[in-house]
Amino acid sequence: MQEMGYFPDAVTFMCILKACGSISAIEKGQKVHVQVLKEGLLDKHASVANALLDMYIKCGALEKAKVFLCGLQKQDAVSWNSLLSGYAQKGQGREALECFSHMQAAGFSPDAVTYACILSACGSIRALDKGREIHSQLLKGQILRNHVVAAYALVDMYAKCGELENAQEVFEELPVRNLVVWTSLLAGFAENKQGDEAFSCFERLQLEGFSPDAYTFACTLKACSNVGAAEKGQIVHTAIAKQGLLEKDKVIGITLLDMYASCGMILEAHNVFDKLPARDVVTWSVLMVGYVQLGKVEVVLTLFDRMIREGMKPDTVTLTIVLNMCSRRGLLSRGQTYFENMSKGFGIMPSVKHQNCMVDLFGRAGHFEKAMTMISSSTPLNSITWLTLLSACRKSDNAKLGAWVFETASQIV
């Protein structure tokens, strides 16, 4: 366009800035910023300034966005709300609270959107006292009656802070509810291991005509998993199957698999695993943990070997699982092979957890020299390392080494 001799106007700049934000093209966005300054458009067109601010926010450059906003001669509540929303969405609650203070100091009064953003920030960092303060402001301004977006955010804040009685009290007074606010309350119960209450929400929202989405199902399954409510989990599974979500949503598959595994229904878990259209390392690990809980060591190791054969690269969690299994069963040779392949075959540097597994394995097998060699090469050591070796010394009646380990650990840990 510019090569053909056409000069961009305010609308053009707004469009290109929106495009930059949508693909996080911050370098291009900064070049456009320079052009906007050269054209002197910032003071003439508030919409261009807001588009620049929005571009920086969508690119995750929140500090740049803040500096830009504070440098504007003409600010408005919309701009401040955009920045607040950016901080809240990125989970930067403390920065959002600071931004809220700056906004008020600049003379701008918060509206319903502002309150919704700041409540989201309070929930993300469990800032309950600040959340209660905002609640009081909402009541004084009678905002809750007229703006459900603020009321929904208030329910979510209380739920995330674990104040479920307050969350439910606000929820029950809502004139209108949607699936999002139902799920906020349900998720709060699930996070706090109140499975019956979570499942009650799941049933009630459907009675009110709402169809659960993937996130609602995932929260409900987590609640069932936390309290071992396998029968209720099966009811949720049936509803998921009716919507065909198991084949469409990866998170649903993992959560359903975890629910069955946590409830000890390993055959059902394995059946879900086999039906998944795609598997990643997390899926494999969840199934392995289910078998670990039942003490099925050989099955765990067989699954690991199968995972490798199918071309799936393990991560640190998976390797911790299999090394622990080798240690429990005293599978020295197999454990050594897995450990040696970590860096050579999988490109993973052993962590202290992996090294502790090997110290335990060597100690159980009576190979104390190898255990000491592992300790000398481990960085950094932790108390578990020494306790692991001390336990092995006690089991093998190696009092001399045990005394040395105890003395050394006392000086270091």
* CA angle at 88 for the pair 85 and 91, rounded to the nearest 5°: 150
pLDDT at residue number 176: 93
139-197 per-position pLDDT tens digit: 998 888 889 999 999 999 999 999 999 999 999 999 999 999 999 999 999 999 999 99
Calpha distance 147→112 (Å, rounded): 6
Calpha distance 218→377 (Å, rounded): 43
197-229 per-position pLDDT tens digit: 999 999 999 999 999 999 999 999 999 998 889
The stretch 289-313 carries a mean pLDDT of 94
pLDDT at 7 > cutoff 70: no
Half-sphere exposure of 412 toward its Cβ, with a 13 Å CA cutoff?
A: 15
> CA-CA distances (angstroms) from residue 124 to 63, 97, 184, 227, 294?
19, 11, 13, 25, 36
pLDDT at 6 > cutoff 70: no
pLDDT at residue number 5: 44
User: 339-349 burial by CB neighbour count: b if 16+ within 10 A, else e?
Assistant: beebeeebebe
pLDDT at residue number 408: 64
Instruction: Tell me which residue of 369, 379, 334 sits closest to 389, measured CA to CA.
Output: 369
- Predicted confidence band of residue 74 (pLDDT cuts 50, 70, 90): confident
pLDDT at residue number 137: 94
Whole-angstrom distance between the N-terminal and C-terminal Cα of the chain? Answer: 67
In contact, 261 and 293? CB cutoff 8 Å: yes
Q: Which helix (H) or strand (E) holds 246?
A: none
Instruction: Give me 32's structure tokens.
Output: 């456009």
- Predicted confidence band of residue 364 (pLDDT cuts 50, 70, 90): confident
In contact, 186 and 200? CB cutoff 8 Å: no
Calpha distance 171→162 (Å, rounded): 14
pLDDT at residue number 94: 94
Calpha distance 308→62 (Å, rounded): 41
Cβ atoms within 10 Å of 94's Cβ, excluding its own: 12
pLDDT at residue number 1: 47
Cβ atoms within 10 Å of 135's Cβ, excluding its own: 20
400 or 34, which is more confident?
34
The stretch 334-352 carries a mean pLDDT of 90
In contact, 53 and 83? CB cutoff 8 Å: yes
- Domain residues of the chain, as ranges? 1-74, 99-159, 351-413
pLDDT at 409 > cutoff 60: no
- Predicted confidence band of residue 117 (pLDDT cuts 50, 70, 90): very high
Residue 8, preceding peptide bond in cis (omega within 30° of 0): no
Tell me if the pTM is above 0.85.
Answer: no
Contacts of 229 (CB under 8 A, 6+ apart): 195, 196, 199, 223, 263
pLDDT at residue number 190: 95
Calpha distance 369→182 (Å, rounded): 59
